[in-house]
Chains A and B, each alone.
Chain A
Amino acid sequence: MGTTASQLAKDSLSEYQELTFLTKQEILLAHRRFTELLDRDERNHPNPRVPMEVILTLPELKSNPFKTRICQVFSTSEDKDGSLTFEDFLDLLSAFSDSATLEIKSHYAFRIFDFDDDGTLDCGDLEKLVNCLTGETEDTRLSSEEMRQLISNILDESDIDKDGTVNLSEFQHVISRSPDFVSSFKIVL
């Protein structure tokens, strides 16, 4: 079921259309961009896997503060190194596409924000999340006092069962109230 040559087989195309939210043009464009990232010899490989550093050269991902987390979430490699096959890449684009539903997007957003991959957002995850949002340099980080105040406010607002962490359903409850989450959680090639 992999891409054999630089051309996508027709039945693979229709299969990908069935399984993802992408249109035919979007899949073909994704395929073209993915093959551009490969070396000459890798192109004849049945199921090429692109390392994370090469994926992050894409302009849509290059300046995104969550780029490493996005690659790690969608990667299916055993060593958890963030490398993506073409199907992982399609999964990524499908989740970030126009037509994906709110549940899919909020599910993946939760996984991206879960930095330690333990299934809940605890204080450490929230702190890393806020640092990604405000910038990595020293003068754009919140002070530790402000960070503590902010995290306690966030947990006050969204942690309903008061266990000190935000789980998936609490996260989805907050997201459901935002009218423009669906339009901002979008990456289009």
Chain B
Amino acid sequence: QVQQMQAPAQFSGGSWKQKKTIFVRKFKSNVREFLYFFSLWGKTLQKIGNFGGGVQSYFIFLRFLVVLNFVSFLLIAGFVLIPSIVFRSVDILKYDPNPQGLVVFYEFFLDLLSGTGFMEYSYMFYGYYNNTVVVTSLVGSDFSYNIPLAYLLTAVFYFAFCLICIIAMGKAARVAVTTGGSDVRSYSMIVFTGWDYGCLGSKATKLKQRNIYYRLQVDLEEERLKKHAASLTLCNKVTLYSLRVLMFFVAIGLIIATFVAIAYATTFSQENNNVQGFLGLFYTYLPSIVITTGNFLVPLLCDQIALLEKYPPSATVVVALLAVVLRLVSLGILLYTLWNQIVCHGSTDTCPCHYNHSNYQCWETSVGQEMYKLTLFDLLVSIALLVLVEFPRMVVDHWSCNLTQWVGRQEFVVPSNVLGLVYGQTVVWTGALFCPLLPLINTVKFVILFYCKKITLFYNCRPALRTFRSTTSAFFFLAVLLFGWILALVVMIYSVAIHPSFACGPFRSFLRMWKIVPDSLAILPKGTRDFLFFIGSQAFSVPVFMCYFIALASIYGKSVAMLRAQLKLAGQDKQFLVKQIE
């Protein structure tokens, strides 16, 4: 029988057309390999792919954030930082928090960690930037550079740029979702096409085998649970649902308790920010500590609750969403408390300058310091977790098997790691207006995080039991990131509307930060002013909206083309069936 099954004789070498198609295909794959070489961490991501699609999409998301932060830093450096350095003039101000005289060595270390002292009056924070409008005459023509205007507009462009990047990646991910939809990861697909024959080495092979094993197990278990849930009696269903409702209220209670703790910790920290030494450091870091503890404990408890209620594994998406709400809203609570302190809880009698000038000579720098502390604490906690928790667990794994069975080998849990990234990025967006170097710090932080997580993955973890579907997960990550962006935008709009400090910063002579835009427009020459008014008027915006709708129509056209392709596939299925019957 084997001899009868001859291989189809379609070898190459015959026609020139076949040679050409082969050449084109080879060329395309060569170009792709070449570009791969230049893309950041391309080979590492391929190796990570052996752990599963969900884990790989986490690392792809992390790489996207690193590139986004780095390009934003270049934007800010080009338009704000470098002109400030070049056109630096001596400022005669009463606000100078630089410590005078000799400084004890550990004070330097404390200042580095909390952004005070020598760091406070530096390019790091808002307070150091001048409000100068530079007018020089270079090469005969007048050259003027308005630093405050550049500062504000760069911040606005930074937000717009991040939004465009997120939407662009989201569209790419969404196309992947709709085209991948016809390729349902059914069992026969996994079994017949799941093996990668280019996998070299026994370690990579074992990893891939384990990955396939867990995928099959997870899918089979979900199917069994669904069948079981469908066969429950009415009495069982009632008890199950009432248990779920009870646990839901318990979870809500825990979350509200966390919010109250954060508000209290922030108020306490701001009231005690004059304490010196290590105790002072602890007080300044108190909000970060409370947020991190809450973000760690509450999802853990909710996970245990979910296990108790025997939810199917796909319902962990609900727990993930709950954790999203927790992380971002706790950040919002911290900011709200901080803002309340700054504007003296809204009462104007203690605030003649519309902000709390006795406690905060330069409130923007204080906010920037808070965001800086949050970012730094996040990084320190990640590294500490790696060294103090995951490494010993790996050592324990190697030595005794009983303890391992009790504690369980650790998995790389994708959703909580992604939330950590989104939280970190939201903090950076919120603080970028007040701490222009924060995107650079965040780039370095994410690069360190990439390597730490890579080490954790390769040496400590096994592939996760609950696999995230890779095509939908990329889209989910970007949706959560967009949510964080909206929070940061709300914060920025609110802070642009508070009265800037009188003592420091580029906007010290303005009533509101955004007032600089109308003022600058007024001094522009008439021609430019008319042009800008024209852009804002109806004669221009209507064609712009039309272009938007045309772009929307083209996207729908693409969806229509994709649906047509799916119909064609369905037609091919029918033809195949007919051939079988005949």
Where the two chains meet, the residues of A that have a C-beta atom closer than 8 Å to any C-beta of B are 17-21, 59-60, 62-66, 94-96, 98-99, 101, 103-104, 107-109, 111, 113, 117-119, 126, 129-130, 133-135, 140, 142, 146, 149-150, 153-154, 157-158, 160-161, 168-169, 171, 173-175, 177-181, 184-188
Q: Report chain B residues within 8 Å CB of A65.
A: 195, 205, 209
Q: Measured between C-beta atoms, what is the minimum distance from B495 to chain A in Å? A: 48
B197 close to A96 (CB less than 8 A): yes
A150 close to B187 (CB less than 8 A): yes
A-B contacts, 8 listed (Cβ < 8 Å)? A63-B204, A107-B5, A111-B5, A117-B2, A118-B1, A133-B209, A140-B213, A175-B193
Give a binary string over B209-226; 1 marks a CB under 8 Å from any A CB, 0 the rest. Answer: 110110011001001100
A59→B204 CA distance, assembly (Å): 13
Q: Chain A: interface secondary structure? A: helix
Q: Report chain A residues within 8 Å CB of B217.
A: 142, 146
A133→B217 CA distance, assembly (Å): 13
> Which of B9-17, B36-44, B534-542 is near enough to bind chain A?
B9-17
Q: Measured between C-beta atoms, what is the minimum distance from B514 to chain A in Å? A: 50
> Which of B22-30, B74-82, B159-167, B427-435 is near enough to bind chain A?
B22-30
| B186 interface residue per 8 A CB criterion | yes
- In the complex, the chain B residue whose C-beta lies closest to that of A177 is B183
Q: Measured between C-beta atoms, what is the minimum distance from A178 to chain B in Å? A: 4
A178→B17 CA distance, assembly (Å): 26
A174 close to B25 (CB less than 8 A): no
Where the two chains meet, the residues of B that have a C-beta atom closer than 8 Å to any C-beta of A are 1-2, 5, 7-8, 10-13, 22, 25-26, 29, 182-183, 186-189, 191-202, 204-206, 209-210, 212-213, 216-217, 220, 223-224, 569, 573, 576-577, 579-580
Q: Measured between C-beta atoms, what is the minimum distance from B462 to chain A in Å? A: 11
Please judge, given known A-B contacts A59-B200, A160-B580, A184-B196, whether A129 and B191 are in contact too, CB under 8 Å.
yes
Q: Report chain A residues within 8 Å CB of B195.
A: 65-66, 133, 184
A169→B363 CA distance, assembly (Å): 73
B223 close to A149 (CB less than 8 A): yes
A63 close to B197 (CB less than 8 A): no
Identify A103's interface contact among B10, B189, B191, B577, CB under 8 A.
B10
B216 close to A179 (CB less than 8 A): no
Please judge, given known A-B contacts A63-B201, A117-B1, A177-B189, whether A140 and B209 are in contact too, CB under 8 Å.
yes
- Contacts beyond the supplied A99-B26, A184-B196, A185-B197: 12 A-B pairs with Cβ under 8 Å: A98-B25, A101-B10, A104-B8, A111-B5, A117-B1, A130-B216, A146-B216, A149-B223, A158-B188, A175-B193, A178-B192, A184-B195
A17 close to B13 (CB less than 8 A): yes
A111→B1 CA distance, assembly (Å): 11
A109 close to B192 (CB less than 8 A): yes
- Listed from nearest, the 10 A-B pairs whose CB atoms lie closest are A134-B213, A135-B209, A18-B13, A178-B193, A63-B205, A158-B188, A63-B202, A181-B193, A153-B187, A184-B196
A95→B212 CA distance, assembly (Å): 25
Q: Measured between C-beta atoms, what is the minimum distance from A117 to chain B in Å? A: 5
A135 close to B580 (CB less than 8 A): no
A175→B10 CA distance, assembly (Å): 18
- In the complex, the chain A residue whose C-beta lies closest to that of B22 is A99
B213 close to A19 (CB less than 8 A): no
Q: Report chain B residues within 8 Å CB of A181.
A: 193
Please judge, given known A-B contacts A99-B12, A119-B1, A160-B580, whether A149 and B220 are in contact too, CB under 8 Å.
yes
Q: Chain B: interface secondary structure? A: helix
A21→B8 CA distance, assembly (Å): 13
A184 close to B580 (CB less than 8 A): no
- In the complex, the chain A residue whose C-beta lies closest to that of B201 is A63
A101→B200 CA distance, assembly (Å): 23
Q: Report chain B residues within 8 Å CB of A64.
A: 197, 199, 205
Q: Measured between C-beta atoms, what is the minimum distance from A145 to chain B in Å? A: 9
B13 close to A19 (CB less than 8 A): yes
Q: Report chain B residues within 8 Å CB of A158.
A: 188, 192
- In the complex, the chain A residue whose C-beta lies closest to that of B195 is A133
B11 close to A21 (CB less than 8 A): yes
- In the complex, the chain B residue whose C-beta lies closest to that of A19 is B11
Identify A135's interface contact among B182, B193, B210, B223, CB under 8 A.
B210
B8 close to A140 (CB less than 8 A): no
Q: Measured between C-beta atoms, what is the minimum distance from A74 to chain B in Å? A: 10
B183 close to A119 (CB less than 8 A): no
A60→B354 CA distance, assembly (Å): 72
Q: Report chain A residues within 8 Å CB of B10.
A: 101, 103-104
Q: Report chain B residues within 8 Å CB of A168.
A: 5
- In the complex, the chain B residue whose C-beta lies closest to that of A22 is B12
B197 close to A184 (CB less than 8 A): yes
A133 close to B212 (CB less than 8 A): yes
A184 close to B213 (CB less than 8 A): no
B202 close to A104 (CB less than 8 A): no
A130 close to B191 (CB less than 8 A): yes
Please judge, given known A-B contacts A111-B5, A119-B1, A146-B217, whether A98 and B29 are in contact too, CB under 8 Å.
yes
Q: Report chain B residues within 8 Å CB of A142.
A: 213, 216-217, 220
Q: Measured between C-beta atoms, what is the minimum distance from B139 to chain A in Å? A: 56
Identify A98's interface contact among B2, B5, B26, B212, CB under 8 A.
B26
Q: Measured between C-beta atoms, what is the minimum distance from B174 to chain A in Å? A: 17
Q: Measured between C-beta atoms, what is the minimum distance from B428 to chain A in Å? A: 36
Q: Report chain B residues within 8 Å CB of A146.
A: 216-217, 220
Please judge, given known A-B contacts A150-B187, A157-B188, A160-B580, whether A187 and B197 are in contact too, CB under 8 Å.
yes
Q: Report chain B residues within 8 Å CB of A117.
A: 1-2
A133 close to B194 (CB less than 8 A): yes
Please indicate which of the listed interface residues B187, B194, B212 has the most CB atoms of chain A within 10 Å of its own CB. B187
Q: Measured between C-beta atoms, what is the minimum distance from A160 to chain B in Å? A: 6
